[in-house]
Chains A and B, each alone.
Chain A
């Protein structure tokens, strides 16, 4: 019984990891409606870390520019979230 529980936990753990590892790739697979913005930090030991915020927006309209509008919205949101995260540090 204990072994089965451990196997289930291990399976769940692996699945969660795969889901989390793939989510960025899934999110940015449609580049027309997604955008990203990065920010960088340098730790006390002088090592830089680069973080990138990804945002996507649904293409709801039927107009020829709706996809571009969705992307522009996504870019605005990504920039804003990156700025908020950086300011919070």
Chain B
């Protein structure tokens, strides 16, 4: 009889653990981020203002560029760059957290986008600040990444989702806010939901037609294209030039590539 009760209790406990694990695996966290890049240190800086939605199960994730944000950003010369909130819905930043890698798309010349693979390596340093974002207590981290220094806040209670906006990941919990110390970059979560029904989408099949590049190869290819376009414009007329942004979230400059910051 005792054996029967023991078996029943053990089976129940086993089922409960398995069910909990399945639920945990199925639970996808959906986070909306407002992301702004407004670097005014150089005329050759990219400017973005958009809404990305992260869908993450804690192992794999993807992000959806939902739309731009209705706003106008001004570059170093004071020229306006207007953004409107027409829906876009383009998937990007496909992360595999178990393998520490992200596959994403970005243009390496005027027209062509590559299929770029990068690692998710961030050398976070613990900070002292604590703040509440969307009801979650968040701890501060400091990180230097490819030319910019950032303050990052992650939710300690969301340790199952070591994910975040753009390439950011691998903090001890879900990253809800990223700000560069030069105020050029801000990535702020404004909504968190859970869903059982969202499948984590893989890299689109049609991306197989794109040129596959590592991050280093991408920067090399883009820099070489940029140099060529500038050389051609100047050769045509020495009193001319063209601005082709080399400052994105990452700064595409050989120094930063060589030092792998």
Shortest Cβ gap from B72 to chain A (Å): 13
Q: What residues of B have a CB within 8 angstroms of the CB of A13 in the complex?
A: 254
Q: Which A residues have a C-beta under 8 Å from some C-beta of B?
A: 13, 17, 20-21, 23-25, 27-28, 36, 38, 41, 43-58, 74, 77-78, 81, 85, 89
Q: What residues of B have a CB within 8 angstroms of the CB of A78 in the complex?
A: 240
Q: How far is B242's CA from A74's CA once the two chains are assembled, in angstroms? A: 14
Q: Is B233 an interface residue (CB 8 A)?
A: yes
Are B88's CB and A49's CB within 8 A?
no
Q: What residues of A have a CB within 8 angstroms of the CB of B65 in the complex?
A: 45-47
Are B239's CB and A58's CB within 8 A?
yes
Are A41's CB and B111's CB within 8 A?
yes
Q: Is B113 an interface residue (CB 8 A)?
A: yes
Shortest Cβ gap from A79 to chain B (Å): 12
Are B241's CB and A50's CB within 8 A?
no
Q: How far is B230's CA from A47's CA once the two chains are assembled, in angstroms? A: 22
Q: How far is B81's CA from A58's CA once the two chains are assembled, in angstroms? A: 30
Q: How far is B234's CA from A77's CA once the two chains are assembled, in angstroms? A: 13
Q: Who on chain A is nearest to B67 by CB?
A: A46
Q: Pick from B44, B75, B88, B227: contact of A46, CB below 8 A.
A: B88
Q: Known contacts A44-B90, A53-B242, A78-B240; can you find 15 more A-B pairs with CB under 8 A?
A: A20-B227, A20-B230, A24-B43, A41-B110, A43-B113, A45-B90, A45-B105, A47-B106, A48-B48, A49-B245, A52-B243, A53-B241, A81-B237, A89-B110, A89-B111
Shortest Cβ gap from A11 to chain B (Å): 13
Q: Is B79 an interface residue (CB 8 A)?
A: yes
Q: Is B162 an interface residue (CB 8 A)?
A: no
Are A55's CB and B240's CB within 8 A?
yes
Q: Pick from B44, B92, B106: contact of A24, CB below 8 A.
A: B44
Are B240's CB and A81's CB within 8 A?
yes
**A to B contact number (C-beta, < 8 Å):** 94
Q: Pick from B106, B241, B244: contact of A27, CB below 8 A.
A: B241
Q: What residues of A have a CB within 8 angstroms of the CB of B227 in the complex?
A: 20
Q: How far is B107's CA from A72's CA once the two chains are assembled, in angstroms? A: 34
Q: What residues of B have a CB within 8 angstroms of the CB of A58 in the complex?
A: 239
Within B216-261, which residues are at the interface with A (CB < 8 Å)?
227, 230, 233-234, 237, 239-245, 253-254
Q: Who on chain A is nearest to B240 by CB?
A: A55
Q: How far is B237's CA from A58's CA once the two chains are assembled, in angstroms? A: 12
Contact A54-B243, Cβ < 8 Å, known A45-B92, A47-B48, A48-B48: yes
Q: What residues of B have a CB within 8 angstroms of the CB of A46 in the complex?
A: 65, 88, 90, 92
Contact A57-B254, Cβ < 8 Å, known A41-B110, A47-B106: no
Contact A51-B90, Cβ < 8 Å, known A24-B44, A45-B106, A45-B113: no
